[in-house]
């Protein structure tokens, strides 16, 4: 049996961590990931590494045997690729070391840390790392894809603030990737995903944000959505960088401040976070809220950790989910009309889910993330992107897979003529080789990624990701 073969072979290594065999203790816990649409997959064995030495031994073993291997850190990826079927998985969740250097604004964390951890620990030292918005997202997957969130307009993407990485190469060597060491690898890791090596630690620039920021939800009736989105599009350059803004078309959950007559009806939910001076926050936020006439305004001063976990309620772990996304250069009337049409005609469930089954969101970009960093400075692409849009469907029963996934695909396909070809790799489920080539922008950037893949993972050991088909390089060079 392949599971026993892999487990017995790995058991011969002098690992300090755990070897979790199928059906054994802790296997099911380690196997659980954010998107349980892939719940039927069964890794042959899960190695829960204790440290980078364990990672190096496992990767050396995988290289010797030409054995493809899955990598799990936070397990929050949209594709559910952290737990592939019938192959070994390297679990990094125990790599949780943290080093804070407040004097120099540096934060170094292990690859097993979650965003909620880095927010909480960082605030103990007065620092924030620009990252994502759901607390149980892993820092590794978020960073390797690029990293966007409520601070991106002020400080850029997570990869714009990455100083270096500790990496285990696919042949088991422990190396450092930075601007001065293995620079080609560092360039590719900043947006190219988990294609090139296993990062065991990340060092970032941290910023003195908090402990208190101004944030919250603002609820508008759906009949104001088109007007508000149009005003957001027209006014984005005037919105201060300190303002992070997301506008979502979603069924209103039963939030107590919202009058009951609006519950389970479609609304425009505006999520705002102001990370600057508290004395300026109310005026800056009012300019955005005044785009409409809100039903409820829940914006208030709150701790950074609370503010950056506002989306947790809308993204619970362990459901079945499908996600599509795209960059937009502008918010056109045609795009807004399509969003509204597909929202009100969304697939319905025959039960009341814990959170809305379908949602679309428009994230305001601009500011640092699109204006302060050169497109070719790293693999992550943002050229021409002023907004990113996403559609997410969530459900619990396998029999609903087809129609709930079809809804997100349908609205994404409808909006695609108005979207850019380049995209944030973490924003969408994998759409295939041509989509992967286009999301990084220019052909030159993609060829550079292929070169890095051929050098650092020539046997495609790390293939359970949005993978680069390195055999194409010879025909496209």
Query: Could you give the domains of the chain?
Result: 2-91 (3.30.43.10), 98-205 (3.30.465.10), 212-427 (3.40.462.20), 434-476 (no CATH)
At 255 the pLDDT is: 85
Question: pLDDT tens digit string along 362-384?
Answer: 999 999 999 999 999 999 999 99
Whose tokens are 């993978």? That residue is 467
Using CA atoms, how far apart are residues 263 and 267, in angstroms rounded to an integer? 9
**Is omega for the bond preceding 211 within 30 degrees of 0, making it cis?**
yes
Using CA atoms, how far apart are residues 139 and 166, in angstroms rounded to an integer? 14
The two counts, helices (H) then strands (E), for the chain are: 16, 17
Within 8 A by CB and 6+ apart from 113, the residues are 95, 96, 98, 138, 139
Question: pLDDT tens digit string along 29-62?
Answer: 899 999 999 888 999 999 999 999 999 999 999 9
Question: pLDDT tens digit string along 103-142?
Answer: 999 999 999 999 999 999 999 999 999 999 999 999 999 9
Cβ atoms within 10 A of the Cβ of 416, count?
Answer: 12
The region that residue 172 occupies, defined by phi over 0 for left and psi between -120 and 50 for alpha, beta otherwise, is left
Instruction: State the DSSP code for 319.
Output: B
Beta-ladder partners of 21? 45
174-178 sheet: strands from edge to edge: 98-101, 106-110, 198-205, 162-168, 174-178
At 389 the pLDDT is: 98
Using CA atoms, how far apart are residues 47 and 12, in angstroms rounded to an integer? 13
């Amino acid at each position: 049996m392949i599971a026993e073969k892999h487990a017995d072979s790995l058991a011969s290594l002098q690992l300090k961590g755990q070897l979790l065999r199928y059906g054994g203790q802790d296997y099911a816990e380690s196997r659980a990931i954010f998107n349980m649409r892939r719940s039927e997959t069964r890794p042959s064995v899960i190695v829960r590494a204790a440290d980078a030495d364990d990672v190096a031994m496992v990767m050396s073993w995988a290289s010797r045997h030409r054995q493809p291997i899955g990598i799990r850190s936070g397990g929050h990826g949209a594709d559910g690729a952290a737990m592939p079927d019938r192959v070994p998985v390297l679990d990094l969740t125990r790599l949780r070391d943290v080093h804070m250097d407040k004097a120099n604004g540096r934060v170094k964390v292990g690859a097993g840390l979650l965003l909620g951890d880095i927010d909480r620990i960082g605030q103990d030292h007065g620092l924030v790392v620009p990252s994502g918005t759901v607390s149980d997202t892993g820092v590794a997957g978020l960073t390797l894809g690029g990293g966007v969130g409520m601070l991106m307009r002020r400080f850029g993407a997570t990869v714009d603030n990455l100083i270096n990485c500790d990496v285990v190469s696919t042949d088991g060597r422990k190396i450092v990737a930075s601007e001065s060491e293995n620079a080609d690898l560092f360039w590719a890791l900043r947006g190219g995903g988990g294609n090139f090596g296993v990062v065991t630690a990340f060092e970032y620039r941290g910023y003195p944000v908090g402990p208190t920021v101004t944030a919250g939800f603002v609820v508008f009736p759906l009949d104001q959505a088109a007007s508000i989105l149009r005003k957001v599009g027209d006014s984005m350059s005037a919105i201060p960088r300190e303002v992070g803004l997301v506008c979502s078309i979603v069924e209103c959950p039963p939030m107590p401040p919202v009058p009951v007559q609006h519950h389970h009806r479609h609304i425009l939910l505006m999520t705002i976070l102001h990370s600057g001076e508290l004395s300026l926050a109310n005026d800056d936020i009012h300019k955005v809220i005044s785009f409409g006439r809100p039903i409820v305004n829940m914006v208030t001063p709150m701790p950074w950790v609370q503010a950056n976990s506002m989306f947790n309620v809308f993204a619970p772990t362990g459901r079945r989910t499908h996600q599509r996304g795209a960059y937009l250069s502008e918010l056109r009337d045609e795009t807004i009309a399509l969003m509204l049409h597909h929202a009100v005609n969304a697939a319905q469930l025959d039960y009341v889910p814990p959170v809305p089954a379908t949602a679309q969101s428009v994230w305001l970009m601009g500011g640092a993330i699109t204006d302060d960093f050169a497109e070719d400075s790293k693999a992550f692409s943002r050229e021409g992107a002023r907004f990113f849009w996403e559609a997410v469907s969530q459900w619990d029963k396998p029999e609903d897979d087809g129609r709930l996934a079809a809804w997100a695909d349908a609205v994404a396909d409808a909006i695609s003529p108005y979207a850019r070809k380049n995209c944030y790799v973490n924003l969408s489920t994998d759409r295939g080789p041509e989509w992967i080539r286009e999301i990084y922008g220019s052909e030159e950037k993609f060829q550079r990624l292929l070169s890095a893949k051929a050098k650092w993972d020539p046997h495609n050991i790390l293939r359970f990701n949005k993978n680069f088909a390195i055999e194409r390089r010879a025909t496209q060079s």
